[in-house]
Amino acid sequence: MRVLVCVKRVPAPGARINITEDGQDVDSAHLGFTVSPHEECGIEEAVQLVERHGGEATVLTLGGEESVEQLRYAASLGVQNAVLLQSDGMPWDPQRTAAAIASAITSLEEAAGPFDLILFGNESADSGGFQVGVRVANKLGRPMVNAIKGIELDPDAGSVVARREIDGGREVYEMPTPAVLGVKEGINLPRYPTMKGRLASKKVEINIIDATGEAGGMSRVSLLQPPEQESNTVTLGEGPDAAAAIVDLLDELGVLQP
């Protein structure tokens, strides 16, 4: 069984994000980088599937040499193979990104056989476009469902059952493999890399492929930074003297029962 998980290098959550003066990019001078939380769960899911069914997991990302950091992180968690689609620094809209990834997947499958399952994060933590996974599945002609919170793969039967939550219940999809799924944070609890895993990840060979894909019809106009929201903290009191103020506040919030 073969599983591929596609990830993206994004600014670490919680970091202060600044925009370049021309409004076209994120100023990364003082930022740390990671993979999106959804994609981190995608890595964990790929590793768990291989642990249950055997086979191998591959991680793929599109970016510059700095993205090797995220590939080796995935390798430290148990992913066996890593692929870097090396970009040329030009803007990569979702259409062009999907075209490059689909082309690379086709080449990888021609060399080693099809992937039973291709995992994307539900959306990336930076742009949040919800597009790349769907576009890749469309180009490959494979079924795809987003917002997945549960996966049951049956390699022998050539099928996968995927679950996602909806208001008041859940939806269950059964699809033939190969298939594509967009997973959401919460599908699992990602593990932390061990020292042994980190050392082993340094020995994993990075398969570098030149990213090729025609520019799509979308273009970035500008990045806008929303105004900062300030909040004030009010101390109601200390010790027993604060009891009356707390009761008044709870009454104001409407949580006290008559």
Q: Which amino acid is at 46?
A: A
Higher-confidence residue of 199 and 125: namely 199
116, burial (CB in 10 Å: exposed 0-12, middle 13-18, buried 19+) = buried
Domains, the chain, ordered by start = 2-210 (3.40.50.620)
DSSP code per residue over 183-194: E-TTSS-PPPPP
Determine the pLDDT at residue 245: 85
Higher-confidence residue of 117 and 29: namely 117
Asked if the model's pLDDT at residue 216 lies above 70, the reply is: yes
The per-residue pLDDT for range 156-195, each reduced to its tens digit, is 999 999 999 988 899 999 999 999 999 999 999 999 999 9
Determine the pLDDT at residue 89: 66
The per-residue pLDDT for range 26-63, each reduced to its tens digit, is 777 788 889 989 999 999 999 999 999 999 999 999 99
CA distances from 216 to 93, 124, 145 (A): 7, 19, 23
Alpha-carbon distance of 166 to 102, in angstroms, equals 29
Higher-confidence residue of 94 and 72: namely 72
What is the reported pTM? 0.84
Task: Region of 119 please: left (phi>0), alpha (psi -120 to 50) or beta.
Answer: beta
Contact in structure between 190 and 7 (CB atoms under 8 Å): no
| Peptide bond preceding 143 in cis form (omega within 30 of 0) | no
Determine the pLDDT at residue 91: 65
